[in-house]
């Protein structure tokens, strides 16, 4: 595996400056949450840094990787927003020698969440949402809830992201709905 310094260099070469600075902020936010919730700090650092590794790859790279790795063919009906996590994790194996499944799952699930998420996965999902430069109505509430209860933060983000997608007539990826059902909706 790459050292943190080598990984930083890769990121700097593959991401535009704005995105690169976002991943540094997600790393720092993930480390803070990892301290708060007693999760491995080094894994939080690497996962935070890697989560958007593939964000700026052209579509044809993702399409080739989906075919090469025989990933779910339904992925071909989606785009960068869904690909950069799930398919990005495959590129991290190929190109950066990152094989830790908890880190890879944190990258895979950082956009849509998942029915089952480890503490590290929840941390990266939340760090991406509440890093210091994020500015949207409700972000301070999201930061406060996440500091009180990590799972409650996951539920908050999941609910608000789904509401945002629906309000804007965006297609909802099935995993996003599964996450909503698992973390937000409760049968009475």
Q: Which is nearer to ligand DGI, 43 or 55 (CB)?
A: 55
Binding mask 115-134 for ligand DGI (x = CB under 6 A): -------------x------
Quick one: how far is CA 84 from the chain centroid? 9
Task: Tell me which residues in 72-111 interact with ligand DGI (CB under 6 A).
Answer: 81, 110-111
Task: Tell me which residues in 143-172 interact with ligand DGI (CB under 6 A).
Answer: 161, 165, 170-172
Minimum CB–partner distance for residue 123 and ligand DGI (Å): 14
165 binds, among ligand DGI, Fe ion, none (CB under 5 to 8 A by kind): ligand DGI
Q: Which is nearer to Fe ion, 124 or 186 (CB)?
A: 124
Q: Which is nearer to ligand DGI, 38 or 173 (CB)?
A: 173
Q: Which is nearer to Fe ion, 43 or 110 (CB)?
A: 110
Angle, helices 174-183 vs 150-167, to 10°: value is 140
Residue-level length of the chain: 188
Binding site for Fe ion (CB under 5 A): 52, 128
* Site residues (vs ligand DGI, CB under 6 A): 52, 55, 81, 110-112, 128, 161, 165, 170-173, 176
């Amino acid at each position: 595996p790459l050292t943190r310094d080598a990984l930083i260099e890769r990121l700097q070469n593959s991401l535009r400056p704005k995105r690169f600075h976002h991943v540094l902020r997600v790393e720092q936010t993930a480390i803070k949450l990892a301290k708060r919730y007693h999760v491995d700090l080094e894994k939080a650092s690497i996962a935070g840094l890697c989560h958007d590794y593939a964000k700026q790859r052209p579509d044809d790279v993702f399409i080739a990787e989906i075919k090469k790795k025989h990933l779910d063919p339904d992925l071909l009906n989606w785009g960068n927003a869904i690909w950069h996590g799930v398919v990005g994790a495959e590129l991290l194996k190929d190109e950066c020698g990152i094989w830790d499944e908890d880190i890879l799952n944190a990258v895979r699930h950082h956009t849509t969440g998942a029915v089952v998420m480890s503490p590290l996965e929840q941390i990266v999902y939340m760090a991406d949402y509440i890093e210091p430069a994020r500015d949207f109505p409700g972000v301070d509430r999201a930061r406060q809830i996440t500091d009180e209860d990590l799972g409650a933060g996951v539920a908050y983000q999941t609910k608000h992201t789904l509401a945002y997608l629906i309000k804007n007539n965006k297609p909802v990826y099935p995993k996003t709905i599964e996450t909503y059902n698992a973390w937000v909706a409760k049968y009475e």
